[in-house]
Amino acid sequence: MRATLLLRNIDRANTIGFLGLGAMGRGMAANLLNKTFAGQQGVFTPSSTASKPTFVVYDPFAPALNDFLSTHTRAYAGRDVVPASSPAGVVRLASTVVTMLPSATEVEEVYLGENGFREGLEGLSDERREGTLFIDCTTGNRDHARGVAKEMEALGAAMVDAPVSGGVVGAEKGTLSFMVGGPEEAFNRAQPYLEKMGARYIHCGESGNGLAVKICNNLLLGISMVGTAEAMLLGRSLGLSPELLASVINTSTGRCWSSESNNPAPGATPQIPTPADRGYTGGFLSKLMSKDLKLALASAATSSTPLPLGQLTATLYDKLSAHDEFAARDFSVVFEYLNQAREGALNGAGAGKKGEGVN
Ligand code: NAD
């Protein structure tokens, strides 16, 4: 009954869809919804907007969907924040759709699979298809993303890849940076939505280029984190205090984001609390770093680019992510992983965690 009423009354051009209400998506969707319904300042006055935007959400993980709905339907009583039963259902109801999914596999499933966006679009008029914009914020494979964008464009819709940096805190605070790939016109159409979820958005060129930039950045981030962890661990093994070593590195040529803002050695930067200071909780998970390094290796394979350090770093994060205690912690936990390898060696158990080699 409710769904029938909605389908009849919904103003599709004025409706936003959001899929993937996980660690990142729930904060991004909340900002997009709050700033759409209540204005950039986040103050909701029921009479402030003549037109009535609607927000449609979908996530197959029921707790994620229910949490989001119970929070926001209460906050915006009288407005429509509604669930759809499939990705196809979302695109039938909404002309602008944001996706924030785990990986390229889910992107292909949601866009091209059964009950996916392609099926939803196929049932719409040409005018409605042309009015459709997809903003995919997933960190996925660049070539797959290009293929999906081509399929959407063949049906008349526009699509940008818009992966983010800034983490869960940035998603919640609305301070993310978006790296956007796709046609200029699609980028311009995406801007009003991106600015509600982030502080910066950069057009990086054609479809797939947002992901290319993201993947290159995270390749360097992974390498620089491992380098920082090695230097900090060697320093501690040689009897240096982490705070002293970090203060010298951070005013010298070894300085980088990993040494300065996310130092992997506990106690290294007392003035800047890091995940290392709270048992490596919060932050950017090792398993996500492992995924991103694999994306870099896949892109390197298709472009014949040698990545010797990238390969070593990817192998290290792959091994580390095989252990639950490391996989779901901030990626600076590589310091602790190497430390355990050192202790294993000192105790005569050989290098590596539980007897395994570290590289
Ligand atoms: P997550 O696993 O917490 O959330 C993903 C959500 O997608 C889940 O709620 C899941 O149920 C949902 N989902 C899975 N299949 C779906 C489908 N078919 N349709 C709709 N929803 C579906 O992941 P996350 O941490 O939010 O990360 C999302 C993306 O952002 C990843 O690509 C990740 O690499 C990237 N990213 C994450 C961070 C971070 O710090 N977590 C930072 C930058 C980028």
Cβ-contact 81, 73 below 8 angstroms? yes
The CA 241 to ligand 1 mean position distance, Å, reads: 38
Same structural domain, 152 and 36: yes
Upper half-sphere CA count for residue 269 (Cβ side, 13 Å): 21
Q: Residue 270 is which amino acid?
A: P
Res 359: pLDDT: 53
Q: State the distance from the centre of ligand 1 to the C-alpha of 19, rounded, in angstroms.
A: 9
**Smallest CA separation from ligand 1 atom 12, residue:** 20
- In the structure, what pLDDT confidence band is assigned to residue 37 with cuts at 50, 70 and 90? confident
Q: What is the per-residue pLDDT for 247? A: 98
Which letter does DSSP use for residue 32 in this model?
H
Query: What are the φ and ψ backbone dihedral angles of 45, each rounded to 5 degrees?
Result: -120, 120
Alpha-carbon distance 82 to 69, whole Å?
7
Q: Residue 349's pLDDT band (boundaries 50, 70, 90)?
A: low
Give me the torsion for CA of 222, 226, 228, 234, rounded to 10°. 180
pLDDT at 208 over 70: yes
The answer as to whether 263 is a domain residue is: yes
Pairing of strands 198-205, 176-181: parallel
Number of domains in the chain: 2
CB of residue 139 inside a 6 A radius of ligand 1 = yes
Q: Rounded CA gap, 145 and 255, in Å?
A: 34
Ligand 1 centre from 20 Cα, in Å? Answer: 6
Same domain, 146 and 240: no
> Does residue 356 belong to any structural domain of this protein?
no
Question: Ligand 1 pocket, 61 CB below 6 A?
Answer: yes
Same domain? 191 vs 225: no
Helix (H, G, I), strand (E, B) or coil at 58: strand
Q: Are 75 and 44 in contact (CB under 8 A)?
A: yes
Beta strands in the chain (DSSP E): 15-19, 54-58, 80-83, 96-99, 133-136, 158-161, 164-165, 176-181, 198-205
User: Which of the residues are catalytic?
Assistant: 214
DSSP for 65-116?
HHHHHHHHHHHTTTSEEEE-SSHHHHHHH-SEEEE--SSHHHHHHHHHSTTS
Does residue 353 lie in a domain region?
A: no
Which tens digits make up the pLDDT trace of 218-249? 999 999 999 999 999 999 999 999 999 999 99
Q: Is residue 358 assigned to a domain?
A: no
Most informative mutation of 26, 31, 59, 141 for ligand 1 (most atoms within 8 A of CB):
59
Confidence of residue 77 (pLDDT cuts 50, 70, 90): low
| Tens digit of each residue's pLDDT (9 = 90 or more) over 325-339 | 999 999 999 999 999
Tokens of residue 325, six digits: 């205690």
Residues 266 and 329 in one domain: yes
Average pLDDT of span 118-133: 97
Torsion of CA 24, 27, 33, 38, to 10 degrees: -150
Q: Does the residue 233 lie in any domain?
A: yes
What's the CA-to-centroid distance between 103 and ligand 1, angstroms? 7
- Give, for ligand 1, the residue of 288, 292, 295 to mutate: max count of ligand atoms closer than 8 Å to Cβ: 288
Question: What Å distances lie between residue 203 and 34, 114, 143, 217, 313, CA to CA?
Answer: 25, 31, 18, 15, 29
Task: Please state, in angstroms and rounded to a whole number, the distance separating the CA atoms of residues 258 and 250.
Answer: 10
- Measured distance CA(297)–CA(163) in Å, rounded: 18
Last-in-domain residue among 191, 206, 221: 206
Q: Verify whether ligand 1 is closer than 6 Å to residue 24 (CB atom).
A: yes
pLDDT of residue 344: 84
Among 174, 206, 238, which residue terminates a domain? 206
Position 12 pLDDT exceeds 60:
yes
| Residue 330: inside a domain | yes
Q: What's the confidence (pLDDT) of residue 1?
A: 41
Within this chain, do residues 196 and 242 fall inside the same structural domain, yes or no? no
Q: What's the gap between Cα 8 and its chain centre? A: 34
Pair (226, 123) in one structural domain:
no
pLDDT exceeds 80 at position 354? no
* Residue 268 pLDDT greater than 90, yes or no: yes
Q: Is 100 in the pocket of ligand 1 (CB under 6 A)?
A: yes
- State in Å: Cα 101 to ligand 1 middle: 4
Residue minimizing CA distance to atom 5 of ligand 1: 22
Are the C-beta atoms of 315 and 289 separated by less than 8 Å?
A: no
Same domain, residue pair 151 and 178: yes
Task: Tell me which residue of 200, 273, 260 sits closest to 232, measured CA to CA.
Answer: 260
pLDDT confidence of residue 63: 97
Q: Does the Cβ of 162 fall within 6 Å of ligand 1?
A: no
Q: What are phi and psi of 53, to 5 degrees?
A: -65, 155
The pLDDT-based confidence of 78 (bands split at 50, 70, 90) is low
Residue 107: CA atoms inside 13 Å, Cβ hemisphere, count?
Answer: 30
Q: Is 25 in the pocket of ligand 1 (CB under 6 A)?
A: yes
> Is the CB of residue 288 below 6 angstroms from any atom belonging to ligand 1?
yes
Domain range for 326 is: 213-346
Model-level pTM greater than 0.85?
yes
